[in-house]
Chains A and B, each alone.
Chain A
Amino acid sequence: MNTFIKSVKEENQIIIIETNGYLNNEGGEAISAICYEKIKVGHHKFLINMAGTKVVNSIGVSILIEIIEKLQEVDGRIGYYNLAPIVVKTFNIMGLTKYSTVFTTEEEAVGTL
């Protein structure tokens, strides 16, 4: 597993991925690899705990958009929580928040998603 992925767990049929570090091309691909694998086995809901990720670039965001597109094909959803304000701002500018949800806590995310 890439060091960017800190942990992966399942809760209420939701796959929760905890990240750590720069969400760039490499980090994005590490997330997408897990998501695509889980989609194949029937999982459609994903949450990303970004407490350890304080920096994202547009390539990382692009990969997240690719994942959203893939999930739309299976009526799946993705959300994020524990985001740094700068990450929230980047997600907003890049339009990501129009197609996925930013949550404050894991409980809120698990309960809503």
Chain B
Amino acid sequence: MSKQFNINELQLKYLELETLLDITNELNSFENVSILLQEILVKSCAVLNASSGLILMQNNNSDLFQIEAEFNINVEALKGTIFNKKIGFFNEVNQNHKPIYVQIVDDPFLARTNCTHGLIAPLLDKKNLLGVIVLFDKESRFGISTFDESDANMLFAIASQSGVAYNNIKLIENIKEAKTFNDNIMQSIVTGVFTTNLMGEINHVNRAAAAIINLEREMVIGNHYEYVFESNEIINQLISKCEVELETVSETQIQIDCNGKSTSVNISVSPLLNDLNEPIGSVVALEDLSNLNKLKSTFKKYVSKQIVDQLLENEDLLNLGGQEQEATILFSDIRGFTSMSETMTPKEVVETLNEYFNLMIEIIFKYNGTLDKIIGDALMVIYGAPNSTGKDTENAVLTAIEMQEKLIEFNQLRIIHSKPPITIGIGINSGKVISGNIGSRQQMNFTVIGDSVNLASRLCSVAASNEIIVSDVVWKQVKANKLLKGKKLTPVKVKGKIKPIEIKEILYHRPPFDYEQAFLKIENFLITHLPINYTYHTIDHIRDVVEQSEKIAIKENMSLAEIKDIKLAAWLHDVGYIWSPMRHEARGAEYATAILTALNLPKAKINTITGMIMATNIPQSPKNLYEQIICDADLDYLGREDYEKNSNNLLQEIQLNKKITDLEWLTIQNKFLMAHHYFTQYSQKSRKEKKHVRLKLIQKQIKAIKNGTS
């Protein structure tokens, strides 16, 4: 070997320094710990002429080392080997934090590598041992040699640099991991969160926030919040307030409009602070209430708002099981609904029940009742369970009263529209019940059971139409309320009870008959229901009869009250035409009875009204002055100037079914006028003469036609 080609010590030192410099330069460029360790190991082996090497790093959760990098070594041979930092060579390095040269043969585990010499240096993070770098078998051209102090110093230098780099990478990895973790949390939480920086620019938006504000994240990031929430002044105001006051501000149940989508949210804005407690922006949390509102809305179809809120706040209330407690139970049942429904189509039955239930359930929830069940046309309602309002029995009674009162109004409309009225009986009892969720986990019903419930049901059976029957227990709890009036009824014997039960009927206000309201309702009904092809029996004719009947009644010295009844009859006298001209008076009287009963007109008056309607049947046969007045008003035009006009309208209406010649029509009129006579003094005085003139004229026309001179 020539001298000039000999590798001298200087070159080797130069190589070592260059390698160390490379490692130092490269250390901060590694983003991954595994790559860093592998690179350190390879370069260490190369520069120190080691034949192979390992880097062992401490397990996070124990004193054991695990292989993190290997070079030119058969790691299979080390499989299952336990490297404990407190045992053997590693313990020495751990204790002294200095590199050591070892005879591998002295270590039963490292001996498995078939190497003979080793150099072990600590990888340190300040004073903590992170791991060790182990180089095996220093090579020379004359075989394997031992590592020397110079090698140890070199490796220690590399290891020291590596420890710092390892820690930096670990820190970055931890930061990235924490960021990913935070991002994942932020993205998976249902609360919408976005942050703004000191400039007011939005720098972070989670998925939920993007969905709530109905904008792509890319369209939000980097934009000023005032721009993004241009149409939501409330959000801008809250962020602005938070920026100024550096305190959390919030608003609940606000409606925001984002990109054409309106959403109900709770919003909270908090200052975002750095380590020094200095503001660096704001964090805004948006809680989307639309699903909650949907849930509440669905739930509220079954229970009152208060119960929904309680259940949403305390899920334990949803546990299966029961408890004994005081409760008041209301049963209501439609009277005669089965027979009524027989005359209706299934669709009409369902529509009627839905209309009725909607009205009733609204009242039930108003008084914090829980709708336990709908059984056919009956309702079962609980007060005081699962939670008491403190005035549950009173609420139950008030519900019953309002249900009955509301039903009067409801029936007025139904009757006006020719639908059968609905009447209900209500029974209320109060006492100990077993309440709870009964059923299975999949389907459970909150209900109450017990003797008190059964009695409430029995009382409902006892109640007649329009009645509210309560047990004596209920009455004693509510009688302090002076607005409630109870009427003692004969004790009733109910099934399952030996002794008769003391009961009370709760009296409620039934509004007096309102004539003006009735006139209006009937007039509207006539306008919308009279056949449009009628030319005589029109709303104009009815209005005329109403006007004339009032005029005649005044002239006949009827009292104001009597005049009202006459006018009522006038409004109703032709209502039967809505259904058929045949026997229209009887149909009208039937309708009048129903509607006037529902409107709470006394029965005697109803009889007077229906008598008047029936009296208009031709030939008119009035039995009293009321009937005389309505009859004269109905045919008042016979003695008026506008006879011709009315007559033509009538002819046109008759001709809808039958063609009539002029002569025939004149003959009909002649016959009719001859037979007719006014009954009241006023009509006889004011209309008889003109009617006579009209009759003569008609007779003259008939004669002319017959003579061929018309």
Contact = CB atoms under 8 A, between A and B. Distances in A.
A57 B7 contact: no
B440 interface: no
A55 to B, nearest CB: 5
Interface of A is mostly: helix
A68 B6 CA distance: 12
Given A22-B71, A24-B51, A58-B15, A90 B1 contact: no
Contacts of A95: 5, 7, 11
A93 B141 contact: no
B18 interface: yes
Interface in B13-64: 14-15, 18, 22, 42-43, 45-51
A68 B141 CA distance: 16
Interface in A36-71: 54-59, 61-63, 65-66, 68-69
B710 interface: no
A72 B610 CA distance: 142
Contact of A59 (B2, B14, B71, B141): B141
Interface in A88-103: 89-90, 93-95, 99
A89 B21 CA distance: 13
Of A22, A65, A69, most B-chain CB atoms within 10 Å:
A22
A57 B139 CA distance: 9
A93 B72 contact: no
A69 B4 CA distance: 10
B140 interface: yes
Contact of A69 (B2, B12, B43): B2
Given A21-B72, A57-B49, A58-B12, A69 B5 contact: yes
A58 B5 contact: no
B431 to A, nearest CB: 91
A20 interface: no
Contacts of B43: 55, 86
B42 A54 contact: yes
Contacts of A65: 1, 5, 7
A58 B46 CA distance: 7
A71 to B, nearest CB: 12
Contacts of A63: 141
Contacts of B1: 65-66, 69
A10 interface: no
Given A69-B2, A93-B18, A59 B11 contact: no
B18 A25 contact: no
A57 B7 CA distance: 12
B16 to A, nearest CB: 10
Given A21-B72, A24-B51, A90-B15, A61 B42 contact: no
Contact of B45 (A25, A57, A93, A99): A57
Contact of A62 (B46, B47, B51, B141): B141
Size class of the A contact interface (CB-based, 8 Å): 20 to 34
Contact of A55 (B5, B15, B46, B139): B46
Of B14, B15, B47, B50, most A-chain CB atoms within 10 Å:
B15
B5 A59 contact: no
A59 B49 contact: yes
Interface in A1-48: 21-22, 24-26
B72 A22 contact: yes
B7 A94 contact: yes
Contact of A94 (B15, B45, B48, B139): B15
B701 to A, nearest CB: 130
A26 B45 CA distance: 14
A95 B11 CA distance: 8
A89 B5 contact: no
A26 B141 CA distance: 10
Interface string B322-347: 00000000000000000000000000
B42 A59 contact: no
B72 to A, nearest CB: 5
Given A24-B49, A25-B141, A57-B139, A93 B11 contact: yes
Contacts of B12: 58
A93 to B, nearest CB: 5
Contact of A24 (B5, B11, B14, B139): B139
Contacts of B141: 25, 59, 62-63
Interface string B128-147: 00000000000111000000
Contact of B47 (A21, A25, A57): A57
A57 B5 contact: no
A55 B140 contact: no
A25 B139 contact: yes
Contacts of B48: 57
A22 B139 CA distance: 12
Contacts of B14: 93
A58 B18 CA distance: 13
A95 B15 CA distance: 11
B49 A55 contact: no
A54 to B, nearest CB: 7
Nearest to A68: B5
A66 B1 CA distance: 7
A26 B51 contact: yes
A68 B543 CA distance: 132
A93 B139 CA distance: 19
Contacts of A58: 7, 11-12, 15, 49
B49 A94 contact: no
B48 to A, nearest CB: 8
13 contacts: A22-B72, A25-B140, A25-B141, A26-B51, A55-B71, A59-B140, A61-B7, A62-B7, A62-B141, A63-B141, A66-B1, A89-B22, A93-B15
Q: Report, nearest first, the 9 A-B pairs whose CB atoms are least far apart.
A: A25-B139, A59-B139, A57-B49, A93-B15, A57-B46, A55-B46, A65-B5, A22-B72, A55-B42
Given A65-B1, A93-B15, A93-B18, 4 more contacts: A24-B139, A57-B49, A65-B5, A93-B11
